[in-house]
Amino acid sequence: MTSPRTRNRLINRLAEQGIVATDVLDVMREVPRHIFVDEALAQRAYEDTALPIGHNQTISQPYIVARMTEALMAGGALNKVLEVGTGSGYQTAVLAHLVKQVYSVERIQPLHVKARSRLRRLSLLNAHLKLSDGTMGWPGLAPFDGIMVTAAPGKVPVELLEQLSEDGGRLVIPVGDFHQELLLVVRHGQEFHQEVLELVRFVPMLSGVIR
């Protein structure tokens, strides 16, 4: 299930679907997605599909991980990135291979604990996790060169816009209720340029912490 051929099949599929960033594809070939799902689902880890991780959450479809990562990185190298919604930790691991420092917040404690263990297992020491309400971001560490959100609010949270670097900070976020759009927002000073990337389906962004 973790053979190079199995992984390469997934990467080839992502390329066929339009992912062109070779660094993103190389990292996704390297990161062992099977350790981020329950053992019973490990044999499906390299399918291009979302999988349940408990607590009504999912590990995102690999195509969506690649698409969001590619969009975030398209402006050039990033030093400091905020991820809202650690979940399984898989997206965090992908980012940790591509940017200098990743700061990730998760509101569900059991997921936070599991993700921390998995990232330590991979020796990703540049991934910093926090149990927190993601709707507020991580204001004490702002500004961020990039912010990635893996749950969908009804509208873009002002708090996250304020935590973007004024010099080209990039936000990739799904927005909407039944009809969701994946947005790229780029900040220049006090101006925010918004682009719709594609239609998506994410779990809703909720407030509060679950222990």
DSSP, collapsed to helix, strand or coil, labels residue 207 as coil
Compute the chain's Rg from CA coordinates.
Answer: 16
Which residues, 6+ apart, have CB-to-CB distance to 126 below 8 Å? Answer: 96, 99, 100, 101, 102
Helices (H), 150-198: 158-162
Q: Say how far apart CA 57 and CA 48 lie, in whole Å.
A: 17
Is 123 tagged catalytic? no
Contact 138, 163 (CB under 8 A): yes
Residue with tokens 């998506």: 200
Contact 78, 102 (CB under 8 A): no
Helices (H), 1-121: 4-16, 22-30, 62-73, 90-96, 109-121
What sign does the CA torsion over 135, 103, 165, 139 have? positive
Could you say which of 60, 88, 104, 165 is catalytic?
60
DSSP, collapsed to helix, strand or coil, labels residue 47 as coil
> Which residues are designated catalytic?
60
